[in-house]
Structure 1
Amino acid sequence: MATDLDGTALRTDGTVSPRTAAAFAKVEESGAMLVFVTGRPPRWMGSVVRAVRHRGVAICANGALIYDLHTEQIVESHLIEVEVLEEVIAQLRANVPELAFSVEYEGGFVHESEYRLGGLDSKAPHEVVVTSTLSARPCAKLLALHPEMDPDRLHATVHDLVGHLVTPTHSSGRGLIEMSARGVTKATALAALAATHAITPSQVVAFGDMPNDLPMLAWAGRSYAVANAHPDVLAAVDDVTAANDDDGVARVLEGLYR
């Protein structure tokens, strides 16, 4: 079982409901593999780890980092190399000068002064850096924020400019594009993890709500969107369950893992 977190398995306030936590426990207790597949970095996983009592594995940063919730350790990384990072930032800066950038490393986060923090980042330790410092070392994820552009339009623009260098996607509902190393997606990471456990796509049920979930939902044997999902996701899945605030993921899991 593989599920996105924010907007899918988590409530809008970012919490794991008691019903959903109980459904996750049933998955692992049944002997099945419990995988959280999220855009979140490991440093955002603490509340989830506690709520699910250290169950499962997390594919973080849209496939770039594999994080074991049992041990709270990163066990695998797929990073954007420095040379690529430099070129991507230069290309985007030249063509979309309104963008502000931030970088997610394996163990930290830095951003330009113009980058407007949102979500958990606004409450967490962070470091403001000059542009040249952003590409000082390989990173898990490069983020580009536009102050006003529609996220779907911005994604198309970024893809046209640097899609041959990195894999861009979006998931937040604002003009924020998340970029992973070329070819790294939630699907590639989930497929590799499944292969190590001799699990085939037909044995996987997956849940999501945003465009960054589309590769994973296409790969899985059975795909579900929550009712509050992005229109592109609702159009792509096999089934639709209740919204994230109505425990949609838990409702399906309760039927699958009695």
Structure 2
Amino acid sequence: MRRTPFGPPSLIVSDVDGTLIDGSETVRPLTRRALRRAAEEGTAFVLATGRPPRWIAPIAEQLDHVTYAVCANGAIVYDVTADVVLQSATLSPEVLAEIAEIARREIPGCGLAAERVGESAHDSATAPFVAAAGYVHAWLNPDHVEVGDDDIVSAPAVKMLIRKPGASSDAMAAAMTAAVGDRAAVTFSTDNGLIELAVPGVDKSTGLRRLAEIASLPVDAVIAFGDMPNDVEMLRWAARGVAMANAHPAARAAADEITTSNDNEGVGRVLHRWFT
């Protein structure tokens, strides 16, 4: 764990689930106040999440200064205010088909789904999330369209999701990382038997770099908050990486410091050092 002097930040970046919001999906008061004060002082704030753009609004509505989000673990750069996808990186149907075949071999009984991207959060021209029959959603708000196995891999996707309830996400990720090689990048944001595969080299840090170039955001003193393996690259890239007390060991190892849990306002407690 790195220990170097830092602050104040020039850019604040936060993961959402398990980090910015508590267990009831609420941004708590101390964190809201610190982020409001940061905005008043001209410090930009960006969400960096595994969530797709269509799941950003419930978070942005709790804050009054969210202009940009890096979604789908870095595969999508999204303008929240304008509701426009600025950039995306997708796996081709051919690669998706290869991944699906490998997944069925390496993780027997798994369910497959694909996250697609349109031009906005709710682009009616694109079915955003398609899943095979029997796919068990990892969250309480399933919004997928059930399709046949061939249809899952019939169009480009920002990520393929592999689901096996009750399995270890760590073990699933290890198996698929070894099997897919350089076809895709493997990560996960929950321990509950779900892994996500994206374009090689795509992660939250690369998405943030692309956003910084597009929006001319300062990256000289970035502070980033996260809790899971899909945050590791971002935590290492930031000048100050902060893991939550509830974080996965990989995120803790990548961070400069550990704050309190997401239910105990870990983000707000750190930002309160500079923004009161």
Q: Would you say same fold, with TM above 0.5?
A: yes
Higher helix share: 1
Return 185-194 or 23-32, whichever deviates more: 23-32
Distance in 1, matches of 2:256 and 2:48, equals 18
Offset of residue 54 of structure 1: 5.3
Amino acid at match of 1:64: A
Partner of 2:48 in structure 1?
A: 37
Q: 1:50 aligns with which of 58, 61, 64?
A: 61
Amino acid at match of 2:173: H
Change (3 A) 1:39 1:198: closer
**Number of equivalenced pairs:** 255
Highest RCO, 1 vs 2 (Cα 8 Å, sep ≥ 6): 2
Percent identity between the aligned chains?
37
Change (3 A) 1:198 1:73: closer
Distance in 2, matches of 1:250 and 1:198, equals 22
- Per-residue deviation, residues 141-161 of structure 1 (Å, max 9, x unmatched): 110012332111111001011
2:35–2:275 CA contact under 8 A, matched in 1: no
- Per-residue deviation, residues 26-45 of structure 1 (Å, max 9, x unmatched): 22222122111000111111
Is 1:64 matched with 2:75?
yes
- Per-residue deviation, residues 180-206 of structure 1 (Å, max 9, x unmatched): 111110011112223442633x41011
Secondary structure of 2:171's counterpart equals helix
Q: 1:20-31 residue pairs with structure 2 within 5 A?
A: 20-31=31-42
Distance in 1, matches of 2:141 and 2:157, equals 17
Q: CA RMSD in A?
A: 1.6
Amino acid at match of 2:218: I
Partner of 1:211 in structure 2?
A: 229
Partner of 2:9 in structure 1?
A: none
Instruction: List gaps (5 residues or longer) in structure 2.
Output: 1-11, 119-127
Distance in 1, matches of 2:271 and 2:236, equals 19
TM-score, structure 1 as length reference = 0.93
Distance in 2, matches of 1:116 and 1:198, equals 39
Q: 1:167 aligns with which of 182, 185, 201?
A: 185
TM-score, structure 2 as length reference = 0.87
Amino acid at match of 2:37: K
Is 1:114 matched with 2:134?
yes
Instruction: List gaps (5 residues or longer) in structure 1.
Output: none
Partner of 1:19 in structure 2?
A: 30
Offset of residue 120 of structure 1: 4.3
1:151–1:174 CA contact under 8 A, matched in 2: yes
Partner of 1:245 in structure 2?
A: 263
- Per-residue deviation, residues 48-100 of structure 1 (Å, max 9, x unmatched): 12111352311000001111122222221111111111111122223322211
Secondary structure of 1:2's counterpart equals strand
Secondary structure of 1:187's counterpart equals helix
1:25–1:55 CA contact under 8 A, matched in 2: no
Amino acid at match of 2:132: E
Detail structure 1 runs of 4+ shifted over 6 Å in the superposition. none
1:98–1:147 CA contact under 8 A, matched in 2: no
Q: 2:218 aligns with which of 193, 196, 199?
A: 199
- Per-residue deviation, residues 210-252 of structure 1 (Å, max 9, x unmatched): 0110000011111111111112222221111111011110111
- Per-residue deviation, residues 106-130 of structure 1 (Å, max 9, x unmatched): 15111111210132433x3x21111
Q: 1:148-187 residue pairs with structure 2 within 5 A?
A: 148-187=166-205
